[in-house]
Chain A
Amino acid sequence: MTQHIVSCAGSRLPLPQFPEKDRAKSMIQSIIKRDGRVVLYDQAKIAAAILRALEVSGDGNAADAARVANDVQRDLESQFSAQKAPDIEAIQDAVERQLMNHGFSSAAKAYILYRANRTRAREANTSLMKTIDEITNIDARVSDMKRDNANIDGNTAMGSMLQIGAAGAKAYNEIYLLRPEHAKAYREGDIHIHDFDFYSLTTTCCQIDILKLFHGGFSTGHGYLREPQSIQSYAALAAIAIQSNQNDQHGGQSIPNFDYGMAEGVAKTYRKAYLRLLKEAVEDRLDLDDANGDIKTIVYAAEAVCGETVRMENCAAFDATVSVGLVKKYGLTSAVADSLIARARKRALKKADRDTYQAMEGFVHNLNTMHSRAGAQTPFSSINYGTDTTPEGRMVIRNILLALEAGLGHGETCIFPIHIFKVKEGVNYNEGDPNYDLFRLSCRVSAKRLFPNYTFLDAPFNLQYYVPGRPETEVATMGCRTRVMGNVYDPSRQIAYSRGNLSFTSINLPRLAIEANGNEKLFYEKLEAMLELVTQQLLDRFEIQCNKHIYNYPFLMGQGVWLDSDHLTLRDDLREVLKHGTLSIGFIGLAETLTSLYGKHHGEGEDIQSKGIEILSFMRKFCDDKSQEMKMNITLLATPAEGLSGRFIRMDKKRYGKIKGVTDREYYTNSFHIPVWYPISVYDKIRLEGPYHALCNAGHISYVELDGDTARNVEAFETVVRHMHDCGVGYGSINHPVDRDPICGYVGIIGDVCPRCGRREGEEIAPERVEELRRMYPEMPAFQGIE
């Protein structure tokens, strides 16, 4: 290494003075800095550091510092010389020794602490720089770290910028914001603090009540939007609302009332079409130039008389009143007036249906292409629907499902939003229920496109909140699984709307089991201690979140999206309104935990299943007790572990070696799931996982994996959904392979060879074959430069 001699700038502090002769006498001429540079030895600097330690501990003054510094120099001279320069570590060791020798023990302690802190910060800086170096220079395909979140492209400029920001924030948060015991637990993999990069900045997610937001219009933070007046604008603004809120929070964003919300837009579109088409029918019939004003007068009068606006279904008196108006105004017979109204209604219905389909298509396209976070991601979005039984609501549900089924421009399966179909007996579950046809349609679509997922309002833990006619009491799911319903802070507001999770931290459950080494009692002791630690950490973070203001969240809080935030003034902190949210304790690897403790997992024996339920019941009771004690919502979460699936087990493998059934794979099993590799029937898997849904009140999901043929059998698909309903599952989804050949447009299962065009991956096909296929499959994607 090349070493440069750099002159050493003197200290700026008024320090103990050393005569020139002292330095001249010294045998130490230079020192080696950490970065390898050699600089002139300066005793004043050493004295300054000593003085700082003495001042912190209140132990001594500048004269004391000078005396200790002299002894430090002698100490160094006994080991080093002009030819052999000391390095920083050696000097610091000497300072520690001499402080002790002089009896300044608390100053020595302060100095040691200062050294340790500096070392940690320096190591963090180094590792931060290494991380940034990796983000900058390594292809995401070979960097696991850059693929931590599969929906961020770590190879793009904005994706990298996001990752660099996250790395910097994490380094800062660990050193400056965490208590040492929490930092240690996090660093060493006892716990995982999710979204740690956003630790000091924001909360996780919120169910956006789209109706409340739209009424009277809203501001995105970048501009004001008037209340929308058609289904097209309702759908466009719904996408913008999701995008805007995604910039204020780090989690996924959801609309709990997509059908109820969009139905209002459909009603407006229908009413406008009705007015126009009735006007045109009258104009055509009577050869009038403009009947606009008169028709409006007649219809508005009917609306006033009947106390309702034009809807797809009005009271019986409505059309009769309009008819009388037409007869009076234009001298038509009742029969003619009635037929004009009927025709206008029929055509308006068709128009509204077409507009709704286009609006839903646009909405899905928007959510798959719009940007958030400076273009690094599309917003993580979810929509819940299925229970609105009005004609307008049903039109929304049918058309969003049809748009989902059709796919994107080339028939691609939509990645966003997550569609969640709310299943409810008496509404859509059984034959004869008003929306049963839509439930059936949802099964057909999900069998092709993987969405919708299903949430079950009849599960006892959801049904307890359900009030017919009040959609806000219907459970709704957010993002991958988060659920917010109960409200210990304000029991009069046990609703899904306008609330969400504040933060969550997960426990490495298998490690507690490994450490307990088969001792059940010890396991529970360790578990309780870990639950305490996580609760404290969540509360610490809550304190940081509370100290924010509405101007930190111009959309979430500034537009009243979050419950009660519309009552806040600029000066208020967020403490009280945030208490409507949840602090959640998550976990991973119940299966490995049980295997470690009892030799088997819960799929392998009913006795083990009851042990699994015991563990989660213990955790849930802890959460419930804490909630009551704090009058806050502390809830148990079946963690959606993406980055976490490999993190804990990598550390545990290093620590404990390969333990069969516990640490011998590359991932811990998600939450309470039966391991993905374990052969089990659909029915048993759902039956065994069902009871855990009731315990994980912060969110849960069960998956089953069907082969493609079973999934495409809609009857079989529906049977699986019904089984979930009957087993007390709160939220479930059915996985099956959905492959697509972008060349011929085939969607389905593709093994090695595409069943439509016969090519293998990466192979070309002849232009004649393309032409032939196009004649058979007109929906095939077109490619520029081919025709």
Chain B
Amino acid sequence: MTVKSKSEKLGQGVGFERIRRITGYLVGTMDKWNDAKRAEERDRVKHGLNGNA
């Protein structure tokens, strides 16, 4: 049966989903973000609970 050969390739070419918020809405993949928003997402820094950053 071909089942085994299929299962051997499980995951091949499959990426991770990365959910992010864009102007209030969530978006499941950044593939569809425009260039400026992608740059903004890349630049985002985390905000620490204490002191500066």
Question: What residues make up the interface of A, taking CB atoms closer than 8 Å to B?
Answer: 140-141, 144, 147-148, 150-154, 380, 412-416, 418, 450-451, 453, 479-481, 640-643, 645-647, 649-650, 665-667, 670, 676-685, 701, 703-707, 710, 716, 719-720, 733, 735, 737-743, 750, 754, 757, 759, 761-767, 770, 783, 785-786
Contacts and interface: CB of A to CB of B under 8 A. Distances in A.
Contacts of A738: 18-19
Contact of B35 (A479, A646, A719, A785): A646
Contacts of B40: 645, 666-667, 676
A740 B18 CA distance: 7
Interface in B20-42: 20-28, 31-37, 39-40
Contacts of B52: 679-681, 684
A676 B53 CA distance: 12
Chain B, interface size: which category? 35 or more
A739 B15 contact: no
A735 B32 contact: no
Nearest to A783: B10
Contact of B34 (A144, A761, A765): A144
Given A642-B22, A646-B36, A767 B48 contact: no
Contacts of A418: 24-26
B28 to A, nearest CB: 6
B10 A743 contact: yes
A148 B33 CA distance: 7
21 contacts: A147-B32, A147-B33, A148-B34, A150-B22, A154-B32, A380-B25, A414-B26, A415-B28, A640-B24, A645-B34, A680-B52, A681-B49, A682-B48, A682-B49, A737-B18, A737-B20, A765-B11, A783-B10, A785-B6, A786-B3, A786-B10
Specify which of B7, B12, B15 lies most central, judged by the most chain A CB atoms within 10 Å of its CB. B7
B33 to A, nearest CB: 5
Contacts of B35: 144, 147, 646, 666
Interface of B: 2-4, 6-28, 31-37, 39-40, 43-53
Nearest to A648: B36
Contacts of A735: 20-21, 44
* Top 8 closest pairs, chain A to chain B, by CB: A646-B36, A480-B24, A679-B53, A666-B39, A640-B23, A764-B12, A767-B7, A667-B36
A753 to B, nearest CB: 10
Given A679-B45, A733-B21, A646 B16 contact: no
Contacts of B4: 767
Nearest to A478: B24
B37 A681 contact: no
A152 B33 CA distance: 10
Contacts of B10: 743, 764-765, 767, 770, 783, 786
A523 to B, nearest CB: 25
A378 to B, nearest CB: 11
Given A480-B25, A640-B24, A666-B35, A762 B7 contact: no
A766 B14 contact: no
Given A141-B31, A147-B33, A645-B37, A764 B8 contact: yes
B32 A786 contact: no
A415 B24 CA distance: 11
A677 B45 contact: yes
B17 A412 contact: yes
Contacts of A767: 4, 7-8, 10
Contacts of A681: 47-53
Contact of A763 (B11, B50, B51): B11
A650 to B, nearest CB: 8
Contacts of A761: 15-16
